[in-house]
Amino acid sequence: MSTETAEETRTAVTVIGLGRMGSALATAFLGRGHATTVWNRTAARAEPLGGRGAVVAATAEAAVTASPLVVVCLSNSAAVHEVLAPVAGALKGRVLVNLTSSTPEEARRTAAWAAESGIDYLDGAIMAIPPMIGQPEALVFYAGAADVYDTHQGALRALGDAATYLGTDTGLPSLYDVALLGILWSTVTGYLHALALVGTEGVTAEAFLPYATAWVSQVALPVLPGMAQEVDRGAYATEVSTLDVNKDAIAHLVSAATAQGVSPEVMLPIQALIDRRVARGHGSDSLASLVEEMRKPSA
């Protein structure tokens, strides 16, 4: 891909949708010196950005025609089509970057609509909270035509230097999005369950924190590369931590939580996966083999 140039970084940009995230996107573009036009269905939300130098468009069509690069960040996929379908003609020949949260299938449908309308299209997924936008560590996934991304990656890096192109399949950014969110939610809820447990004996969250962070960094994270290899190979034999061992361990955890008066509900689905895998004769397999139960839940 081509090296970013000064001309690329000054591409005029339009941002449609000015919720917390959309406003952060527009602010980041302004901060990198882009001529930025904004539009929102609730016009009052555009006023603060107008005070920072953005051009506030009166209509969606005026916003679209103002820039060669149009970034949309709305509440859902239906809102994207509601706003953009009437201005599809104005979008023709421009680049549309859709950073609205969606499912992979919704993203692919939007990409198909854009192609039929003569609109160059990139789909994206933002893996950051609004205050992170514009920071080096802000990760945004993109997919679509490689030449379109190549042309505009310099401008898009205004949103985060960790911008990552995943290829031509426009469903991949949203798939990576939900996959990573699953890691976040399961990790956070596991941590909260731990805090509930130790809290029954008066241990504060602050006192427990060093042991939780050490456990994650020294025990949990180091096993991920090996698990990735096991899953890709489909080979799960182990002598280290078998499902038979983990079956007894999680039963102990559920029992202890119940005895302490703490709900074990976040652990019960994991216990069910382990129990089902063992019942199917895979007690000597590793924890990584649970992926097979998730892939074929009714097999």
pLDDT of residue 5: 46
Query: Which helix (H) or strand (E) covers residue 138, if one does?
Result: none
> Are the C-beta atoms of residues 88 and 61 closer than 8 Å to each other?
no
For 241-289, the DSSP string reads SBHHHHHHHHHHHHHHHHHTT---TTTHHHHHHHHHHHHTT-TTBBGGG
d(CA 184, CA 287): 19
Q: Is 137 exposed, middle or buried (0-12, 13-18, 19+ CB in 10 A)?
A: exposed
**Helix boundaries (H) for the chain:** 6-9, 20-31, 47-51, 60-65, 77-84, 88-91, 104-116, 146-156, 172-199, 205-215, 224-233, 243-259, 268-279, 290-295
pLDDT of residue 53: 95
pLDDT digits (tens, 9 = 90+) for 227-255: 999 999 999 999 889 999 999 999 999 99
The set of residues, in sequence order, having a beta carbon less than 8 Å from that of 270 and lying 6+ positions away, is 250
Q: What is the DSSP letter of 15?
A: E
pLDDT of residue 155: 96
The set of residues, in sequence order, having a beta carbon less than 8 Å from that of 157 and lying 6+ positions away, is 4, 163
Residue 40's CB is within 10 A of a number of other CB atoms, namely 24
**Below-70 pLDDT ranges, the chain:** 1-9, 298-299
> Are the C-beta atoms of residues 60 and 81 closer than 8 Å to each other?
no
